[in-house]
Amino acid sequence: MRIRIGKRVAGVAGIAAAIVLAGATPALAASGTVHTDSGIALTVRATPSTSGSPVGTIADGTAVTISCQTNGSTVDGKYGTSDIWDKVGDGYVSDSYVYTGSDGRVAPDCAGSTLTCTTAGTGDPKTCAQAVAYAKTRIHTNDLDSYEGWCDRINAQNYGWTASGSETAYIHWTQIPASFKHPGDYQVPAGGLAFFKSSGAGHTMISIGDGKFLSNDINAYGSYTETTIAQIKSKWGQTYLGWSQPWFKVNH
């Protein structure tokens, strides 16, 4: 979401480009031009996140083809503040450094990660699909004490445990073996667990697919409702860490 300056049109060529984009729908690949504040090359990353591994660079002033767009880390760039990332070649660049003539989406949504949720090596009593199905049966809007503040335990219960075995959600994240974690990856498959860091205990929630999650407390204390990574970040000011397969300390 843009919250500062927009992508202003400059010159006749820019005006023409803006007119074309204004009348287009984001159904096909789009074009843009990389512009950085300092003129240095823009880093291309493996995932739509500032913590994603660098896979290359694009020189300032380079025209690029944007095959698709997705949401990721929020970046303060030349064209404002945005959580939109552009797929360019085999990697992603922040849309806040790409002139497209629009502050919104100009290309189709990225199909998402090819990674899937799996309980292999976790010993979980329930599969990813079973955990998601059970989590959906728990949706409610009233205030229940057993849900207020218990995000990590709720995830463990979805997978058939009575508790996660970790003191807090953030500590849980630090205990998960690296082979089960995907730091900075916003494309969370159904059943995957998203983790956040804050000055306190952090937060975690289960994905139900298509960028949607089930979380306690976010829409009302003690509730269990649908949400997104963006809502957790904006409403609670938490930092997104990434997602993991459903590994719980209680079983390891």
Closest C-alpha among 96, 39, 52, 92 to residue 68: 92
Residue 13: predicted pLDDT: 36
Q: Decide: 223 and 149 in contact? Cβ < 8 Å.
A: no
Q: Decide: 168 and 183 in contact? Cβ < 8 Å.
A: no
Q: What confidence tens digit (pLDDT) does each residue in 48-89 have?
A: 888 788 999 999 999 999 999 887 778 889 998 888 899 999
Q: In the block, which residue shows the tokens 């997978």?
A: 159
Query: Rounded to whole angstroms, how far apart are CA atoms 8 and 45?
Result: 26
Query: Rounded to whole angstroms, how far apart are CA atoms 217 and 238?
Result: 14
Query: Rounded to whole angstroms, how far apart are CA atoms 224 and 216?
Result: 4
Q: Amino acid identity of 140? A: H
CA atoms within 13 A on the CB side of 47: 21
pTM of the model: 0.63
Q: What percent of the chain has pLDDT over 90?
A: 66
Mean pLDDT across the chain, nearest whole number? Answer: 87
Specify the 3-state DSSP secondary structure of 135: helix
Q: Order of strands, edge to edge, in the sheet holding 239-244?
A: 181-183, 239-244, 193-197, 203-209, 212-216, 224-227
Q: Is the pLDDT of residue 30 over 70?
A: yes
Range 221-232 burial, b when 16+ CB lie within 10 A, else e? ebbbeebbbbeb
Residue 15: predicted pLDDT: 31
101 burial (CB, 10 Å; 0-12 / 13-18 / 19+) is buried
Q: Is the pLDDT of residue 114 over 70?
A: no
Q: What confidence tens digit (pLDDT) does each residue in 171-192 have?
A: 999 999 999 998 888 888 899 9
Cβ neighbours, 10 Å, residue 212 = 13
What's the token pair of residue 162?
Answer: 């009575």
Radius of gyration of the chain from Cα atoms?
A: 20
Residue 112: predicted pLDDT: 58
197 burial (CB, 10 Å; 0-12 / 13-18 / 19+) is middle
Q: Is the pLDDT of residue 234 over 60?
A: yes
Residue 158 DSSP one-character state: H
